[in-house]
Amino acid sequence: MRRSRRVRRLPRRALAAVVGALALLALTVLLPGASARFTSVTGNPAGAWATDGVAPPTGLTVVQTCTRTPIAFRGAAASTSQSPLALSPPAQTQPGDVLVAQVAYYGTSTISAPGDWTLLSADTSGTSVTSAVFHKVATGSEAPAVFSRPPSSPGDMVGGIVAYGGVDPSSPVAVTGRTTGTGETVNLPTVTTTVKDTVLVYFLAKSGGLLPTPGALQERWRLSSDSEGATAADESFVGPGTTPSRSSSTPGSATEYVAHTIALRPTAPQVGASLSWTASPSTWATGYRLERSTAGTAQAPRSITPVGTTSTTEGPLVNGTAYSFRLWAYRGTWTSTVATAPLTPAC
């Protein structure tokens, strides 16, 4: 008579434990760096895979970056003649440059100008000398600008055109100041500007004399006609604030004068952000995700790799707008806690 053999089966709990152990073993083999992480976590009863597995970056710092195109002097050209006065743009003029013209003459008459030139100011000292300032944006095909006195008031004229690149074509003049008077010494007007990195352009006109350029300035022209002299100069001004005091003197020539100070507005800066942080100690993580938001609206996060990266840039940003930046480490669907930092650029 045959005896039947009884097969011993593992209890369900024991079988589940074996399957779990095999799964963890496979994880340590397949996941790079997971073996060390597994040892670390299991050796620390207080640890947990979700928090200890992907550690966050720390020390997130966000600093604004302001990139400006500096205002550049292109060239200047001056001339004198009986009315009409034809002023040619400087040969170095490029499309988009801002041209500024001065025309000085004896008397108080109003002169005519080409239709594409905008009058900034026309000032007369007594009845002896008038200085008019105009501006326009260069198109690249400029013809000479012709300025004329009325037929009832003929006479000589003197002036010039100066060209600058990097000036805001939509609003080229930030602020202007003018002064008139009589005397040997002319104090150029000071102005207060909120604009950074401007160029100050000075125009002087004097009846029966020629004013020298103040030593701190760069002379662009100094030219006289039969009745008056015209001087143009400029200098860079970092700003914002009140411009420096400048003066010019002609000893023995206490005649009437007109002086202009013009602060040019540079093109808007390119605004951005420079971010830096201390890398996540989870060297097995893939990298980071960075999210930028403003007014409650967040852009789609972008990835930054590898995990050893400790800096990046963001932009362009809008000057004066409040931003929030969020940075976290990740691997697959595992993520760390989030590091955050605000920035409101003020370039």
Sequence spans of domains, the chain:
18-47, 54-67+270-347, 72-264
Average pLDDT over residues 148-176: 95
| Confidence band for 168, pLDDT divided at 50, 70 and 90 | very high
Enclosing H/E stretch for 21? helix 12-30
Average pLDDT over residues 230-255: 94
Percent of the chain clearing pLDDT 90 (strictly above): 78
* Average model confidence (pLDDT) across the chain: 88
In terms of Cβ atoms closer than 10 Å to its own Cβ (0-12, 13-18, 19+), residue 39 is: exposed
Find the largest Cα–Cα distance for the chain.
147
Pairwise CA distance, residues 234 & 218, whole Å: 5
| Confidence band for 173, pLDDT divided at 50, 70 and 90 | very high
Average pLDDT over residues 74-93: 96
| Residue 183 tokens, joined | 């005397």
| Confidence band for 23, pLDDT divided at 50, 70 and 90 | very low
Report the pLDDT value the prediction gives residue 52, as an integer from 0 to 100: 52
Say what the pTM is: 0.73
- Residue 117 and residue 148 in contact, taking contact as beta carbons nearer than 8 Å: no
Average pLDDT over residues 246-259: 93
Higher pLDDT, 253 or 75: 75
Report the pLDDT value the prediction gives residue 120, as an integer from 0 to 100: 96
Which among 73, 78, 90 has a CA at the least distance from the CA of 217? 73
Higher pLDDT, 231 or 154: 231
Tell me the β-bridge partners of 104: 131, 158
Report the pLDDT value the prediction gives residue 253, as an integer from 0 to 100: 87
- Residue 214 and residue 193 in contact, taking contact as beta carbons nearer than 8 Å: no
Report the pLDDT value the prediction gives residue 15, as an integer from 0 to 100: 41
Residue range 101-159, pLDDT digits in tens:
999 999 999 999 999 999 999 999 999 999 999 999 999 888 999 999 999 888 999 99
Residue 167, SS3? strand
| Confidence band for 275, pLDDT divided at 50, 70 and 90 | very high
Q: Lowest-confidence range among 29-43, 57-71, 123-137, 258-272? A: 29-43
Q: What is the DSSP letter of 240?
A: S
- Strand order across the beta sheet in which 173-183 lies: 173-183, 255-264, 198-207, 228-237, 218-224
| Residue 165 neighbours by CB distance under 10 Å | 19
Angle between helices 12-30 and 34-42 (to 10 degrees): 130
Q: Which amino acid is at 142?
A: E
- Residue 142 and residue 75 in contact, taking contact as beta carbons nearer than 8 Å: no
Q: What's the CATH class of domain 54-67+270-347?
A: mainly beta
Determine if the peptide bond prior to 84 is cis (ω within 30°).
yes
Average pLDDT over residues 86-90: 96
Residue range 182-202, pLDDT digits in tens:
999 999 999 999 999 999 999
CA atoms lying within 13 Å on the CB side of residue 251: 0
Using alpha carbons only, how large is the chain's radius of gyration in Å?
36
Report the pLDDT value the prediction gives residue 301, as an integer from 0 to 100: 97
**Phi, psi of 23, deg, nearest 5:** -65, -45
Average pLDDT over residues 32-61: 56
| Confidence band for 278, pLDDT divided at 50, 70 and 90 | very high
Average pLDDT over residues 266-286: 96
